[in-house]
Amino acid sequence: MQALILAGGQATRLRPLTSRLPKPVVPLVGQPFISYMLEWLGRHGVDDVVMSCGFLADGVRAVLGDGSQFGVRLRYVEEPEPLGTGGALKFAEDLLDERFFMLNGDVLTDIDLSAQLAQHERTGARATLALIPVEDPSAYGLVRTHADSSVEEFLEKPGPDAEIDTNLVNAGAYIIEREVLAEMAPAGSVISIERDLFPALVSRGLHGYEASGYWLDIGTPERYLQATFDIMEGLVHTAVGSRLAGAAKLLHDGALISGRLVGPAVLGEGCEIARDAIVGGSVVMGRDVKIEAGARIERSVLLDGVTVGARTRVTGAIVGAGVRIGANCHVEDGTMLGEGVRLGSENTLSAGVRIFPDVSLPDGAIRF
């Protein structure tokens, strides 16, 4: 079975994490995000993947290559400029099979695609959308269905005045019959699958499949951290989560731990935790991360090569590769530090502050 993955968005809501790194390959608990999708698709018989890229496409290709390390055949289509979700689909038409899965490239999920496919075959649908219940549907595509699972209405990001009488939203996982592409504007046009194609297919073979299981769109910093914690706690079915369930801590070679490490935690190669420092729980560190004496790291992600100075506290933060944080700082509560940031000592960053790549802040520059 084939899958088309949309991975061409600019991921502005995840900047500065995505300022230089495309969202599909942003590391999540030690592996590129998209590898979780490939693992999930593989469990449902997908062996051929077409990746629809645009923004920072070379970055995706450099990390994923031909897909052999993930056990799938991986091909890329690269839009010269963003064509929208529907435009990306039409642009990939020449590579597509008669029937294929299509996925938004930013969902962490373990919903049952095989059951969705079985329903698609049973109903004879032309397209079947996975639907998932969420607390606040207004940020998603709202979908109302009839009792026979056919879609009654598809309303992308309903405004505040819209009547919201269902919590079922578009989960960004579709099964599509290639023949529906014949109805779309020609390749090269900007098209929204949510605003143009799906509303046009209502009453004409568009069905919804009510999925259950774990589902999260990782496209904001809060949700990226949530996904990190959920993988570590085993709330979503993943290989790394299963390994953590047995061990609580996954350490790669060369870790030097003089302080304390509290699980769940995942540490890359060459990490060092100095004496009196405490790391964990729910901490992910990339390769060569150095935590100096007396520092405290909790519920945070520190990418490759980060250094945290003595007695600094990092809680609920995302710290980009190569960042150096000085001594006696507080970095907390949704703070994001872009790649290469230099933060002098005695700084307090909090409440979702985002510092863009390579910025240097002197000692004591920011306090709350």
**Quick one: which of 104, 128, 149, 335 contacts ligand GDD (CB under 6 A)?**
104
Asked if 157 is an active-site residue, the reply is yes
**Which of ligand GDD, Mg ion, none is residue 312 near (CB under 5 to 8 Å by kind)?**
none
Q: In what helix (H) or strand (E) does residue 123 lie, and over which residues does it extend?
A: helix 113-123
Minimum distance from CB of 109 to ligand GDD (Å)?
A: 10
Q: Which is nearer to ligand GDD, 192 or 348 (CB)?
A: 192
Non-local (6+) Cβ contacts of 72 within 8 A are 38, 41, 42, 46, 47, 48, 49
Question: What does the longest C-alpha to C-alpha distance in the chain come to?
Answer: 65
**83 binds ligand GDD per the rule CB under 6 A:** yes
Q: Is 107 a residue that touches ligand GDD (CB under 6 A)?
A: yes
Q: Which does 107 bind (CB under 5 to 8 A by kind): ligand GDD, Mg ion, none?
A: ligand GDD
Q: Which is nearer to ligand GDD, 194 or 196 (CB)?
A: 194
Closest to Mg ion by CB, 123 or 220: 220
Minimum distance from CB of 315 to ligand GDD (Å)? Answer: 27
Q: 3-class DSSP state for residue 301?
A: strand
Token pair listed for 82:
């963003």
Which one of 90, 157, 249, 290 is the catalytic residue? 157
Toward Mg ion, which CB reaches closer, 33 or 100? 33
Residue 195 or 287 having the CB closest to ligand GDD:
195
User: For residues 104 and 37, what is the distance between their CA atoms, to the nearest angstrom?
Assistant: 10
Total Cβ atoms within 10 A of residue 247: 12
Site for Mg ion in 93-112 (CB under 5 A): 106
217 touches Mg ion (CB under 5 A)? yes
Number of residues that bind Mg ion (CB under 5 A): 3
- Strands lying side by side in the sheet with 354-355: 249-251, 265-267, 283-285, 300-302, 318-319, 336-337, 354-355
Whether cis (ω within 30° of 0) applies to the bond prior to 22 is no
**Residue count, binding to ligand GDD (CB under 6 A):** 25
The answer to whether 219 contacts Mg ion (rule: CB under 5 A) is yes
Shortest Cβ 217–Mg ion spacing (Å) = 4
CA pair distance 145, 139, nearest whole angstrom: 19
Among 170, 228, 282, 347, binds ligand GDD (CB under 6 A): 170
Residue span binding ligand GDD (CB under 6 A) among the ranges 5-13, 160-168, 202-210, 271-279: 5-13
> Is residue 39 involved in binding Mg ion (CB under 5 A)?
no
| CA gap 200, 120 in Å, rounded | 18
Q: Answer with the entry of Mg ion, ligand GDD, none that 334 interacts with (C-beta below 5 to 8 A by kind).
A: none
DSSP run (H or E) holding 91: helix 84-91
Binding ligand GDD by CB under 6 A: which of 60, 63, 72, 79?
79
CB of 114 to ligand GDD, least distance (A): 21
Q: Does 194 bind Mg ion (CB under 5 A)?
A: no
Closest approach, Cβ 87 to ligand GDD, in A, equals 6
- Using CB under 6 A as the binding rule, whether residue 84 contacts ligand GDD is answered as yes
Question: Encoding tokens for residue 74?
Answer: 């991986």
Q: Give the sign of the dihedral formed by CA 167, CA 127, CA 114, CA 237.
A: negative
Tokens of 36: 């979780």
Tokens found for residue 115: 């059951």
Would you count residue 332 as binding Mg ion (CB under 5 A)?
Answer: no
Q: Kindly state the tokens that stand for 62.
A: 């450099």
Give Cβ neighbours of residue 180 (< 8 Å, ≥ 6 apart). Answer: 126, 127, 197, 201, 205
Q: Which residues fall within 8 angstroms of residue 291, CB to CB, at 6 or more apart?
A: 259, 271, 272, 273, 274, 277, 279, 297, 308
27-38 burial, b at 16+ Cβ within 10 Å, e below that, comes to: bbbbbbbbbbbb
| Catalytic residue ranges | 157
Binding residues for Mg ion, rule: CB under 5 A, are 106, 217, 219
Binding residues for ligand GDD, rule: CB under 6 A, are 6-9, 52, 54, 79, 82-85, 88, 104-107, 140-141, 156, 169-170, 172, 194, 217, 219
